[in-house]
Structure 1
């Protein structure tokens, strides 16, 4: 059978190993799940709840006149434009004004503050003298009929002020309004309140973050307005206020738009009417001649004079109007103050050409003047009005500029006509074609007359559409206070974090399984060694016993004793020669149970009425004397150097046929003593008196002292400890047989059935580490408490034992 290549990862699934790892780490999985539960609990408990409220608004209108007469629709709805208006800070500002939420009230809690929207037992009236006065929230509680106020985040001390009276505190005029009943309830109650006065500009920015406006259905012209905040009723009130304000504003905007169109039509009618009057005046002399049946060409001098006088009158009017508009344009283009601009507009208020734009600009200037008494120049509302004023000024300049150009063109036409009349009179020649002039004037009169008639028709149409307009706007679904928060989502958080804890626990188990590189069972030994026999398995001992103690005599019918009997029987199949036999017990490193197996194997063989002696050749770290609870003053080291005799070194155990020789004092040259001729002589001499010689050798993975002895014995036994010995240690076993030519090499799996590392059972160990570090160049050390029992066992609760230990 070919031995399998050792892999860094455990690439084969072993159900028993997986169950073993899960049992061992079950507590970790439970703790991981509990940690996830705790995280979810704290998030749910100490996160400020977020509430959601929404409303659906329908924008529509009915107009029976439009449907009957098929007139132009001047109230057409643009959803995208309406969406932009709804999202604007101006609209939100108007909505918030109706709610009076510039002062927020909270009940102070240990971890979270509870907002008292429209339910606070007192209210605050205030006036600002300094803007910085609202930068910090106020802490308020009541004692002895007075209010105790202190500023949070500022070490400014506390103030005791009377209630229902105005008081000045650090630039803040303050008045606490509270009823006597509420005052009595709060007196010395220990309740503390937080009051946050929000600046107007910050108020818009704060509330715009939670606002969301989207088109719900473009076909049905519906818009969804939603808000997310810390209080359910406040969210609903903000949405409902914005929805109502929007519907009112939408109707007024449409009516204003219709009025503007009618106003524009009236302005155009006025301008065209003036042109009609002008052309009518110029045509009148021609009509007078035709009425008297005179030919135009016979009296052209008088006719030219008459026409020139009329054009001269028109020229004078145009020049006066042009000068006025140039002065007006010069005034508003020089960036005058708003007060001066208002005066200029007031002086030109009767100017029919700019009356509409000027009236809008005057209204904005008036609004800014009224705001300046209440808020500062840096506020959001003032900046927005300034922006609108600048836009209106630009529009007014553009309109005025176009009017000036139009007047200049008209003036140039009149000058050209006057020049023609002058030349005609001076030359007394018919170089001025009066027929052509008449036809031109008549054509211009007809064009303007037709345009005038169309404008009158449109005006009548617009006024009829306006009269037939009926708004069909409505709030289809008003916002309601949703008492169930959208965040934190408690069930989802519990599922997510508990699931995450479970996944993390399982991932660690999978990682431990993949990185598991210790021998778990006899199948691992078989996989990674080539035809090396396994003598048997020694189970974990579940009682507390001293280090390397002889235990097979304590309960001869125990599972442990039966395991050693099985090993004793199996050894007969390896070598069945007559005479005294030598057994060596070794391992790769310390802690694998070498001394424990040697002592108990010797004990179980002694039960079969054979004389057994145990030799402790592990002279660097001897433990046999600890197992038999004797002194280590003399032993193999003194015997091999000739300091003690064999009879002096042999000691008897409480079993009749079991003797032992301890290692003796630690020598400086244990390897030389083991390979000496004296060692061979001692073995030969012991063979005469004993049936079985059991030798406890040093670990072959750390030192090479044991190789000469192992190669000469009848039963070389290699100890591998389950869930402790690395799989790579199995290479040493194969190497001993293939390269060192060790015959009859066999393996005993020690600690089968569970270990502290993966078994989920008690920790049974020898309690002593193997440390070859006595100044001889060896630096290997393996800590204690690896083995079958623990020296200082901890009491386990029966509940935990039932959960984590299988019976």
Structure 2
């Protein structure tokens, strides 16, 4: 028999996957219900979840990192920026794009503080630009908590009346008003007007949120990424439940960014324009004064034209006069620019390029570009940043160079002027001969020419500045206009249904595994074989038919075949014994000892043997009741009497060939009766009268009766019941085997369900029968064990 069990164990080990699957097949209904439930939940989730869409836009930024090297110190400055982990121009522009100032302008321009919603049966839908009404809200405080207002329009808005209500900890009230009315509340003033969109037969409400709260939400949904380190393209994306809203936010954000970029570039031109306009006003006043003096001089001296004799002298002096005028203009511009540089205490005012000296113009260009770089850098860094301090130092050095250049030019022009004045003095000596009136006229004309030249020069610079401002273009340009995806990225039906299917399988699997891990009952064969070395002799399946097998109807059922296999295995153990004694015990009651012993007796009797079954569970006898036999006399009566043992044994009418020795009256000292000296000759006598003796003993886990009787038995059978016997009961078996307290001990597993995780050793879990309707009944009857009869 040991070889047989080893063979069965080996076969079981070869089908580990089947053993694993068998644990779950028993709960197929649970799997079906779980998959259906999760599938329906997934469908409802997809159907009623608020879809979210993503809008995308791309802008390209002119990366000025290389161009700025000329005034940042070239390659050395580039290395310096790497040391301090300075961001590129694209990264700086990305930071500017995501600043709070730009987002706040977007919120105000689009009036995002107020969102409009239409109620539905399951969820509400934001209507955004399709709202039939518009709300103007003036908050009472700068910051408010999000508040929802419900609106009930009368007759779909046709009555021009509505009811507005709010149930909040800050405001709990209801108002009735008309369109255009001013509604004053504790949180702010509300005015509601129509937009022209049709009203639907549904409830509406709007939510008022603070700017700070909304900015936090927008920042969480807005993402900007530089697509590559080798390009200057910024990819912007925004997530929203309304596609049009996402596109509008991105469009407005880019527009505000470009407007700000143009404004920054125009600051230099605007500063130069202001300076030039100021100088034009001053020069214009001087020129008007000189022209007025000339007019007064001519009127006072009655001068209509210049005498012919004076014309020649003036012609000779014209060349020197032109040179002197040019020097005077240059000196005036030089002094004005020098005053600008010296009087600008902050050093943040751009220098206009009014002096034509190439060296000076180069310094001015560097100075203005470096000043623009400083202002842009301060948007993303602080003034104490090493690069900011370096730029400030360069600005100071350039300012000194500019002042020094202007001083040098002034000295050179002053020398040239002195030379011209010296030469002109010779001409002046000749002019003395000219009448005083004509000489005075020449002086006034000379002053007029100087102021006219300066005035024309300033007008030219003004036009140049205006052209420069008009030609300014933004640093960034749109290469992909904001566009929302056609399909929502959330929820994704395939993903949701996939997760629903997985969860539908995981939930019952986890439940079954957790149940198995926490269960303290024997559920599968491995619970026995892994915890005890005792061999399994037989496995008896579950039967919906309670009680004994019918000798006429049930002998061809699956259960009968299992008992036949049981009997065959017993023949291997008992060998050639004339009358083997078979003892049945278990850990506790309700494990099926009486049921198995009674049916095994019938199977033996079916072969023509004379079988005796002894009801030795003297405390709780059940065999007599099972066979419907009286239990007035029996073993206890025999022990206290002197009559032959056969007088206490009765044949069972319903089971030919089976005899029963009842327990008799329940004694107070059952163990002592079993140890009586008369028991030994009793068994010797019974072995002569019968072909097989079966002992139905009490549970060994409760009393010692079975151990006392084991010395009279040839084979000891320990009954275990699937889903009923505790796993700790196997410790009793191990103790009995290890200490040799119970020789020839084998296991019988009872109530094995074919659809369960317990695997049959001989294939009867697959419904084997004779093929013509004699298999186990499939009617849903109450189990005999559960009814307390088995």
- Aligned residue number for residue 615 of structure 1: 614
Give the aligned length. Answer: 589
Greater shift, 512-521 or 144-153, is seen at 512-521
Q: Please report the TM-score for the alignment, with normalisation by the length of structure 2.
A: 0.61
Deviation of the 1:170 alpha carbon: 4.6
2:652 equivalent in structure 1: 652
> Is 1:96 aligned to 2:107, yes or no?
yes
1:600 is aligned to: 599
Is 1:542 aligned to residue 543 of structure 2?
yes
Question: Does the 8 Å CA contact 1:612/1:658 hold for their aligned counterparts?
Answer: yes
Question: SS of the residue aligned with 2:239?
Answer: strand
Structure 1 residues 36-185: aligned runs within 5 Å: 36-37=38-39, 40-41=42-43, 43-45=45-47, 47-60=49-62, 78-128=89-139, 136-143=147-154, 145=159, 146-154=161-169, 156-170=172-186, 172-178=188-194, 182=198
Counting only pairs closer than 5 Å after superposition, residues 372-391 of structure 1 correspond to structure 2 as none
Q: Deviations over 1:74-99 (max 9, x none)?
A: xxx93333223222222222233332
SS in 2 for 1:247: helix
Q: CA deviation at 1:599?
A: 0.5
The 3-state SS of whatever aligns with 2:147 is: coil
Distance 1:159 1:704, change over 3 A: same
Match of 1:222 among 200, 212, 233: 233
Does the 8 Å CA contact 2:588/2:702 hold for their aligned counterparts?
Answer: yes
- Aligned CA distance change for structure 1 residues 643 and 105 (closer, same or farther; 3 Å): farther
Deviation at 1:195, TM superposition (A): 1.4
Contact 1:61 1:473 in 2 (8 A): no
Give, in whole Å, the separation in 1 of the partners of 2:616 and 2:204: 82
Which residue number corresponds to residue 754 of structure 1? Answer: 754
Tell me by how many angstroms 1:698 deviates: 1.9
Question: C-alpha displacement at 1:153, in angstroms?
Answer: 2.1
CA 1:499–1:523: 2 relative to 1, 3 Å: closer
Deviation of 1:120 (Å): 0.9
Question: Cα distance 1:21–1:171, how it changes in 2: closer, same or farther (>3 A)?
Answer: closer
1:738-749 counterparts in 2 under 5 A? 739-740=739-740, 746-749=746-749
Gaps spanning 5+ residues in structure 1: where?
5-9, 67-71, 271-324, 326-348, 360-386, 393-440, 451-455, 763-784, 794-807
Q: How many Å separate the matches in 2 of 1:82 and 1:526?
A: 69
The offset of 1:256, in angstroms, is 1.9
| C-alpha distance after superposition, 1:215-266 (max 9, x if no partner) | 3356553322322223211111010111122223322321224444787899
Match in the other structure for 2:490: 487
Distance 1:611 1:125, change over 3 A: same
Q: 1:143: how far off? A: 2.7
Q: Structure 1's 461 and 571: CA in aligned 2 closer, same or farther, altered over 3 A?
A: same
Q: In structure 2, do the counterparts of structure 1 residues 494 and 173 end up closer, same or farther at CA, with 3 Å as the change threshold? A: same
Matches within 5 A, 1:230-309: 230-260=241-271
Is the contact between residue 544 and residue 791 of structure 1 (CA under 8 Å) also seen in structure 2? no
State which of 21, 33, 48 in structure 2 corresponds to 1:19.
Answer: 21
Q: Secondary structure at the match of 1:98?
A: helix
CA distance in 1, matches of 2:595, 2:187: 87
SS of residue paired to 1:668: coil
What SS is found at the alignment partner of 1:676? coil
Aligned equivalents of 1:522, 1:162: Cα separation in 2:
79
| Contact in 1 for aligned 2:115/2:126 (Cα 8 Å) | yes
For residue 460 of structure 1, report the CA deviation from its aligned partner: 11
CA deviation string 1:50-94 (max 9, x = no partner):
3221211224499xxx9xxxxx9xxxx933332232222222222
Q: 1:14 to 1:83 in 2, by over 3 A?
A: closer
Check 1:448–1:758 CA distance in 2 against 1; reply closer, same or farther (3 A cut): farther
The answer to whether the 8 Å contact 2:115/2:208 transfers is yes
Unaligned runs of 5+ in 2: 7-11, 69-73, 75-87, 282-338, 351-377, 384-405, 416-457, 766-780
Find the residue that maps to 2:57 and give its secondary structure. strand
Partner of 2:711: 711
Report deviation, 1:711. Answer: 1.6
CA shift at 1:475, angstroms? 1.6
Whole-Å separation in 2 of the counterparts to 1:519 and 1:123: 68
Larger CA deviation: 596-605 vs 169-178 = 169-178
Counterpart mapping for 1:437-476 below 5 A:
445-446=410-411, 469=472, 473-476=476-479
Correspondence 1:699 to 2:710 = no
Which has the higher mean CA deviation after the structures are superposed, 105-114 or 231-240? Answer: 105-114
State whether residues 591 and 787 of structure 1, in contact with CA within 8 Å, keep that contact through their aligned partners in structure 2. no
Within 2, Cα distance between the matches of 1:728 and 1:134? 62
The corresponding residue for 2:299 is none
Alignment of 1:335-484 (within 5 A): 353=344, 445-446=410-411, 469=472, 473-484=476-487
CA deviations over 1:636-665 (Å, ceiling 9, x no partner): 334434499963663633123222133344
Q: 1:602 to 1:230 in 2, by over 3 A?
A: same
Contact 1:544 1:790 (8 Å CA) reproduced: no
SS state at 2:693 partner: strand
Once the two structures are superposed, residues 593-644 of structure 1 have per-residue CA deviations (whole angstroms, 9 ceiling, x without a partner) of 3211211121122223333221111123322123223454544334434499
CA contact (8 A) 2:42 2:497 kept: yes
Q: In the superposition, relative to structure 1, how do residues 448 and 12 fare at CA in structure 2: closer, same or farther (>3 Å)?
A: farther
Q: Write the distance in 2 (CA, Å) between the matches of 1:513 and 1:255.
A: 77
TM-score normalised by length of structure 1: 0.60
- Shift of residue 668, structure 1, vs aligned partner: 2.6
TM-aligned CA distance change 1:39 to 1:734, over 3 Å: same
Q: Secondary structure at the match of 1:141?
A: strand
Secondary structure in structure 1 of the residue aligned to 2:91: helix
| Aligned counterpart, 1:560 | 559
Contact 2:612 2:659 in 1 (8 A): yes
CA distance in 2, matches of 1:125, 1:522: 74
User: Is the Cα contact below 8 Å between 1:635 and 1:649 reproduced in 2?
Assistant: yes
Mapped to 1, the partners of 2:138 and 2:737 lie a distance apart of: 98
- Local SS of the residue matching 2:626: helix
